[in-house]
Structure 1
């Protein structure tokens, strides 16, 4: 199996197939930005942003894992934003960097593991309309999200960061994901 092969082996159709196809497309573009890079290059920040390619993939994997956990376990999977400590904020900031000892291959493997779990969840979840209350946070206007809405958020987050990654890659060496 390569990084671009479909991750789920459970046959799905309809809306679930569409969700998985869209997520696979944006995961591909995110991963593709790291092709032929060294670990050092994956950790470089060639733009005014603090973002690097390895860190973006780590962040997207964490976000996807948290939202998949939310679908199953509800708001407790997201943590309590009101009670976050400085250590919690430091840990979140570390998501966006390649840390000493981390490798691009390791980051990509961890992301693939998260993706497999999400794909299995999409294929086997009894009801995409099942809703969970959102955790308290100033950025949530709604009080609950369905599994479908959480999955659409994962897709949007992946697509947005794939675009960021494309800019970073082009700044590194001129390579582009498309065009």
Structure 2
């Protein structure tokens, strides 16, 4: 991870901050074996490898949304091809617990033939594409969000808002990756 340089440009500040937090996500994956990268070392099913895949897939899809709108998720009435009204009904019956639904977020499923090096490279590649879009795209252009239980009905997000969402997503999963790594071999990224 390089030393950040001061920025005065909003676009570069977004890129720099995303890159910094992407680095925090990648740091706990450094020095892991393939087996360790796929180890669910906590009560969660999450692994270092699954987090890297999820973040890359999620960032790629959200940046596609910033360009194409809800079609990036399968249309305005679905999110990732799922009729969320059925999933939301199942969650309502179980006091907010979605585990009773049939939906599985396949962005956390890592193919057997995908290596840790490939996952790390993909995270960086997607980040480069995001940086390119943030340098040239209209930060204020908005698209209506697809229908999903966690989106406010009728809300629309701009490229800027998508970048902020991805910053939160990456930072959250960097924390997860740090805990998973510490549970594997005691190493910590910080603290």
Question: Which runs of structure 2 are paired with 1:37-56 in the superposition (5 Å)?
Answer: 37-56=32-51
Residues 1:133 and 2:128 are matched in the alignment? no
107, 110, 118: which one pairs with 2:130? 118
Taking a change above 3 Å as real, the CA distance of residues 129 and 99 of structure 1, as seen in their structure-2 partners, is: same
**2 CA distance for matches of 1:81 and 1:124?**
27
Q: Which runs of 4+ in 1 moved over 6 A?
A: none
TM-score, structure 1 normalization: 0.86
Structure 1 unpaired stretches of 5+: 7-11
2:25 corresponds in structure 1 to 30
Q: Distance in 1 between matches of 2:79 and 2:108?
A: 19
Consecutive unaligned residues of structure 2, counting only runs of 5 or more, are 84-101
Deviation larger for 13-22 or 44-53? 13-22
Q: TM-score, normalised by structure 2?
A: 0.81
- RMSD of aligned C-alpha atoms? 2.1
Distance 1:143 1:72 in 2: 16
Measure how far apart 1:124 and its partner are: 0.9
